Amino acid sequence: MTQAPPPARPHRPTVDTVLRRFEELARTAPAAPAVLHGSQELSYGELDAQANRLAHHLLDGALPTGGLVAIAVGARPALPVCLLATLKAGGTYALVAEDDPRTARGMLAALPPYLLLTDTGRRAAGLGLPEGQRTVAVDEEAGTR
């Protein structure tokens, strides 16, 4: 399943996207586990609420429709929050190699994104961002600082 064109069958929804499917699960099974990472667990309801908060923050920052968001948060619960928030805000995303600053700098220079989501300001500084790069630090609760 992708964020692709609608299915050909008339009895199916006109647009079947990852985001629509996720939001349906968040409505119908909000207490079900959605993300498991070590001892951390997020339910579909919690994941949806965190993604909504971040999406509103992205929109408040004037993310343009289709604007590119670079995501450098590593493989932890904040990653699906960032992916979903970007889609909810109408943006597109690219994952950046947050564990390899040299590769990350090259990726950011080649993209260039409207903004970068990262898990700490320290990590963003370690990426050697281009001058003027907009950055949003996502905290452990997938809120923003």
Closest Cα to residue 32, out of 140, 13, 24, 76? 24
The mean pLDDT value of the chain amounts to 79
Dump pLDDT digits (tens) for 81-111: 999 999 999 999 998 877 777 888 788 888 8
Mean pLDDT throughout 54-74?
Answer: 87
Of the ranges 10-24, 26-40, 63-77, 119-133, the best mean pLDDT one: 26-40
Closest Cα to residue 95, out of 63, 123, 65, 117? 117
Closest Cα to residue 58, out of 48, 49, 67? 67
Q: 125: burial class by Cβ within 10 Å (0-12, 13-18, 19+)? A: exposed
Q: Which residues pair with 116 in a beta bridge?
A: 70, 135
Q: Tabulate helix, strand, coil % of the chain (nearest 5).
A: 40, 20, 45
Dump pLDDT digits (tens) for 33-61: 998 888 888 899 999 999 999 999 998 87
Confidence of residue 138 (pLDDT cuts 50, 70, 90): confident
Number of H helices, E strands in the chain: 5, 6
pTM, entire model: 0.78
